[in-house]
Amino acid sequence: MLKFQVHAPGKVILHGEHAVVYQKPALAAVVGLGTKLQLRTQTGSQVASFQLEALNCTLEIELSEFNAFLVNFRSKYPGDKLESTAKLMEEVRAEVAKQLERSVGSTPKQHTQRAFISIYYLLAGAVLTAPNQPTLTLQSGFQVHVDTELNVGAGLGSSASYGAALAAAFLILAGHFDKTSYLQDENLALISHWAYESERVNHGTPSGVDNTVCTYGGILRFVKGQGFQSLRIQKPLNILLVDSRVSRSTADIVAKVRHLAEEFPQLIEAIWQACEELVNSAVPLYESFGNAQDDSQKFEKLERLFQINNDLLKAIGVSHPKLEQIFTIAFKRGFFSKLTGAGAGGYAIVLLPDNYECNEVYWKLKEELEAAGFGVHVTTAGGVGLRVSSLDD
């Protein structure tokens, strides 16, 4: 019997949000919150069952139907090594629509539909590309339980975290690697690839940032279309994630910023240039923080960069009264903060010093933010990436 659990972290953008759309560099870091998936195979069962706590739903796949789908796909596309996944995506969408219509009777919520497509697509992809097993089918049912600490649609990479956890679980199930070898470079690359494929179901044309950072961990510098570099950081940063509890549409905000850039092209380009300089100044600070005696000076510089970055984002109109309230409360207590991600709601991040727990002012800050109705999570930025571990019943 196979049983294990996967933890895939979420992410924050530390610097460069919005500018990254215009080919400027950005820095993304994993956070200490994430998605936890537990998988248990069940001897004698012929059903794959998925309990998704965040969506409050349970989805089921009959193995006989799933295996029939695999056989049909292989006969339709003989010799297909899935270098291009477009055909599989198309076939899965049609199959899932057919199954949902039959089992539910009415069209389920969009979130549920997308979750089911992701599951079916990743499971089929993992089995169809299983090493040295060109005719592999699933013989034994299994149960998957997925729970997350990440708010869906809040800019913390919840969908990439979910995709990475599913991808790792299905790749282990299909025999690509096991829970002792998943950290090998080629295996992490495979997890990240399929997490990206899951992101395509949710976002159409993702940048590839979220799935990469959620899989590998740490802090990444990236430029759209040019790949990623991992920063050589000494230790994670302490941060306070503050949920403004204001939901927003990333696509709408990006469109508004684009309109602004078209209206004032030279002015907004100057802001993007400043964002690029800011990232270039931040990288050596993040890489050297934690390895010397002058950390307090470096921390002060990082605080200033947070402040400047936040002011640049305010200048393009992506703040919100609730975010401004968070910034004011933090600043009054001597802490520096910025919005993260698309803005206009979502989360703010407050930079915390090493000894924050011994600081009475920190506890007052936390208390005041909570009293104002904000969600507050103490965590880290730049920790470990995806992890697989044994599951003890």
Residues serving a catalytic function are 159, 210
How far apart are the C-alpha atoms of 210 and 230, rounded to whole Å?
Answer: 13
Residue partners of 241: CB distance under 8 A and separation at least 6: 12, 31, 33, 156, 347, 348, 349, 376, 377, 378, 379
Instruction: Please report, as a single letter, which amino acid is at residue 23.
Output: Q
Contact 29, 11 (CB under 8 A): yes
> Among 318, 354, 302, 254, which Cα is nearest to 27's?
302
How far from the centroid of its chain's Cα atoms is residue 120's Cα?
20
Rg value, the chain, Cα: 22
Instruction: Please report, as a single letter, which amino acid is at residue 318.
Output: V
Tokens of 257: 């910023």
Task: Report the DSSP beta bridge partners of residue 26.
Answer: 222
Tokens of 144: 């998957």
